[in-house]
């Protein structure tokens, strides 16, 4: 058995949404480092230049597309275009997401719709478009959704976000069961506490940082490279008999509560 070959993504074609910064950028770089050609999307295509450079530096093909995942037609057209340009699509990483903290009594319809449309609705229609390409090509593939600790636990003032991420967990289970017949695996990762542009507001509070570190058995926050192994594993043949599961990447947080 050639174990290293199981993790090799050479020749695979991937698409990562929300790849202009943070976890999405790190995931795109990890896939390229493992050998995949990678299409990357974000609402502003100019913001993808750094991510494209990371992929280029790994010696892989990089394509960049502007995409707001709330636009269902755009999800389909962009993923179809990427699949055509890459000559196939083997991997989709549903990373695009949005979070805003607000007391539940103050949540309005606009905030609810914005969060759920990006985190859940957008993820579904990107998955659907990717799966249609995979089925048409007859190649199967791997879809990895970015869930959250809020897929498992309740977090005050994050009800729309937690609801969307819990829904994403349910979607992962259901699509895995439905699409296995097509050779498509659907899994997820649940990042713990990573400092990104979206979450930076929390980390500006030193007291919050110390309180959170006390709850994490490894006593540190996640680094971008901590996501690489889990995502490459779920994207590769190393996980070919794994579907419908979520891997928490959280330093032991969930195990300790």
Active site residues: 161
Burial of 106 (0-12, 13-18, 19+ CB in 10 A): exposed
Instruction: Determine contact, residues 56/80, Cβ cutoff 8 Å.
Output: no
Give yes or no for a contact between 31 and 38, defined as CB atoms under 8 angstroms apart. yes
DSSP 141: E
Cα–Cα distance for residue pair 202/157, rounded to 1 Å:
13
Q: Is 42 helix (H, G, I), strand (E, B) or coil?
A: strand
Nearest to 77 by CA among 106, 52, 41, 101: 41
Residues 74 and 68: beta-carbon distance below 8 Å: yes
């Amino acid at each position: 058995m050639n174990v290293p070959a199981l993790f090799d993504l050479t020749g695979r074609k991937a698409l990562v949404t929300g790849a202009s910064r943070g976890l999405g950028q790190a995931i795109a770089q990890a896939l390229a480092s493992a050998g995949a050609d990678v299409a990357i999307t974000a609402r502003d295509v100019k913001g993808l230049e750094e991510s494209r450079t990371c992929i280029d530096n790994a010696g892989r093909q990089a394509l960049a597309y502007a995409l707001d995942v709330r636009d269902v037609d755009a999800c389909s057209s962009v993923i179809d275009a990427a699949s055509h340009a890459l000559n196939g699509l083997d991997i989709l990483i549903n990373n695009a997401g949005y979070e805003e903290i607000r007391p539940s009594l103050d949540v309005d319809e606009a905030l609810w719709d914005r969060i759920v449309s990006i985190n859940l609705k957008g993820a579904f229609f990107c998955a659907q478009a990717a799966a249609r390409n995979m089925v048409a090509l007859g190649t199967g593939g791997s879809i990895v959704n970015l869930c959250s600790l809020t897929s498992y636990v309740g977090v005050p003032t994050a009800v729309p976000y937690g609801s969307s991420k819990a829904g994403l967990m349910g979607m992962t289970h259901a699509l895995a069961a439905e699409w296995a017949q097509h050779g498509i695996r659907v899994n997820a990762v649940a990042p713990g506490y990573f400092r990104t542009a979206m979450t930076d507001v929390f980390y500006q509070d030193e007291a919050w940082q110390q309180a959170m570190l006390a709850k994490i058995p490894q006593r540190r926050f996640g680094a971008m490279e901590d996501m690489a192994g889990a995502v490459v594993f779920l994207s590769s043949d190393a996980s070919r008999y794994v579907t419908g599961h979520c891997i928490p990447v959280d330093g032991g947080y969930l195990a300790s509560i």
